[in-house]
Amino acid sequence: MSAPASLRTKPIDRRRLSMQDRSSYKPQQRLGAIAKAKAFKQRYATQQQRKPFATEQKPGTGGFTQGIARQQERMRIKGAEERRAKSFRPENAISNDIYQELAT
């Protein structure tokens, strides 16, 4: 990937420019553009040489579970089991007298 001809480091012959172009030409801007192009080329080359990820990456849960809907379903089932267990409990608390009668 080479830089375009306008970003090469060769100096520009100002004698060939028109008077308007000659007055607006600023070599500092050219040097800044060359620096940006070099930085871009370096970043691009580094990205191309970087080792790719060895594991597949998926958003969210990492692919091990079914996601938030599965978790919500588990919580609904758990809540239903707890309500069912509470429904089997007696309404009145059992007093400690029962245990004393059995001991004698």
Q: Residue 43 belongs to what H/E stretch?
A: helix 27-49
For residues 104 and 101, give the distance between their C-alpha atoms in angstroms, rounded to a whole number: 6
DSSP character at residue 104: -
For residues 60 and 2, give the distance between their C-alpha atoms in angstroms, rounded to a whole number: 40
Q: Is residue 87 part of a domain?
A: yes
Cβ-contact 73, 80 below 8 angstroms: no
What is the number of structural domains in the chain?
A: 1
11-65 pLDDT, tens digit per residue, is: 777 788 888 888 888 777 777 888 899 999 999 999 999 887 777 666 665 556 5
pTM for the whole structure: 0.34
Domain that holds residue 98: 68-103
Q: Is residue 82 part of a domain?
A: yes
Query: C-alpha distances in angstroms, 40 versus 29, 32, 55?
Result: 17, 12, 28
State the sign of the Cα–Cα–Cα–Cα dihedral 27, 28, 29, 34.
positive
> Which of 8-12, 16-20, 63-67, 87-91 comes out lowest in average pLDDT?
63-67
Q: Is residue 12 part of a domain?
A: no
